[in-house]
């Protein structure tokens, strides 16, 4: 690590063997190590066979606001500051966002040591489309808030990735089936990269029923995006006739609606003629 930098480093999401060499070096070279859970970080360092060389500080969601200025000052004064979460990449549903923002506002260099990611691992193994996706984190805990949040995503065309706790999984899958449709394809990824890794694929209603018996471990849920709505000629005949009633030639009205919808001008024209007849 170079002096005067804040380094966000990804940690293994399960198997310690996934730790990149750069993380090992950073743990040994850092002047300050800010960890979401200091005990878990010490345990990881032990499994990796490295010694944490710098001062070890706790850095979690409850103290990020107070701790961030201290870490920024340390880096500004030339310290090598390493930031790690319990698993995966800091700032992705973990502490780090406020720190990065504060550092960039004060001109302190921020860098990243990439590595394991539960989001990308689950997406890759889900069997669902990977060309376009979005990460939605944890859904709201309160049923009403959760229903509204999922309802707003019902028409989302991209594959969606969520985190969820084991004891809320069944309820969340049930609400997803209600909001997205019982037949929407999805995958529940449990304990990724760990000994008891499991990926359960199926329709949302099927997965919700499976989860009722209880599920353990770290959970990532991947849900297929909504299928694009199919435009139908009969749904746009009224628009053609309205333009014609306003003085447009029927063929011109059909052409205008066809341009807006991508439907066939000829089919719109024929349908409008039949309706008028």
Mean pLDDT by runs of 10 across the 277 residues of the chain is 90 94 95 96 95 93 93 96 94 90 95 95 97 96 93 96 96 97 97 95 98 95 91 88 88 91 90 85
Question: What's the whole-model pTM score?
Answer: 0.80
Q: What is the pLDDT of residue 137?
A: 95
pLDDT at position 1? 74
Query: What is the reported pLDDT for 21?
Result: 92
- Residue 146: how many CB atoms within 10 A of its CB? 19
pLDDT at 205: 97
The predicted pLDDT at position 210 comes to 97
* pLDDT of res. 167: 95
Determine the CATH number of domain 5-116.
Answer: 3.40.1010.10
The whole-number pLDDT of residue 10 equals 95
The topology (CATH level 3) of 119-223 is 3.30.950
**How is residue 153 annotated by DSSP?**
T
**Cα–Cα distance measured from residue 60 to residue 91, given in angstroms and rounded to the nearest whole number:** 10
Identify the bridge partners of residue 159 per DSSP, sorted by sequence position.
Answer: 133
pLDDT at position 232 is 87
pLDDT on residue 234: 87
Q: Tell me what pLDDT residue 2 has.
A: 79
Rounded CA-CA distance 203/47 in Å is 39
Helices (H), the chain: 21-29, 38-48, 64-76, 97-105, 118-126, 143-152, 169-180, 204-211, 237-245, 250-261, 265-276
């Amino acid at each position: 690590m170079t002096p005067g930098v804040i380094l966000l480093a990804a940690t293994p999401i399960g198997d310690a063997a996934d730790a990149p060499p750069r993380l090992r070096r950073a743990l040994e070279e850092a002047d300050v190590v800010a960890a979401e859970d200091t005990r878990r970080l010490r345990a990881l360092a032990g499994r990796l066979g490295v010694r944490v060389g710098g001062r070890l500080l706790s850095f979690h969601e409850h103290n990020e606001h107070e701790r961030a200025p201290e870490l920024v000052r340390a880096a500004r004064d030339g310290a090598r500051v390493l930031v790690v979460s319990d698993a995966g990449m800091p700032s992705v549903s973990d502490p780090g966002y406020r720190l990065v923002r504060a550092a960039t506002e004060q001109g302190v260099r921020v860098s990243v040591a990439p590595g394991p990611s539960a989001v990308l691992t689950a997406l890759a193994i889900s069997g669902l489309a990977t060309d376009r996706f979005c990460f939605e984190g944890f859904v709201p805990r309160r049923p009403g808030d959760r229903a509204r949040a999922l309802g707003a995503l019902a028409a989302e065309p991209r594959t969606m990735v969520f985190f969820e706790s084991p004891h809320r999984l069944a309820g969340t899958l049930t609400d997803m089936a209600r909001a997205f449709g019982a037949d929407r394809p999805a995958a529940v990824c449990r304990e990724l990269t760990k000994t008891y890794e499991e990926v359960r694929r199926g329709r949302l209603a099927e997965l919700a029923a499976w989860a009722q018996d209880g599920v353990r471990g770290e959970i990532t849920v991947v849900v297929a995006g909504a299928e694009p709505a199919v435009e139908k000629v009969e749904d746009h005949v009224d628009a053609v006739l309205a333009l014609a009633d306003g003085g447009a030639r029927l063929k011109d009205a059909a052409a205008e609606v066809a341009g807006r919808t991508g439907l066939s001008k000829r089919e719109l024209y024929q349908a409008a003629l039949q309706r008028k007849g």
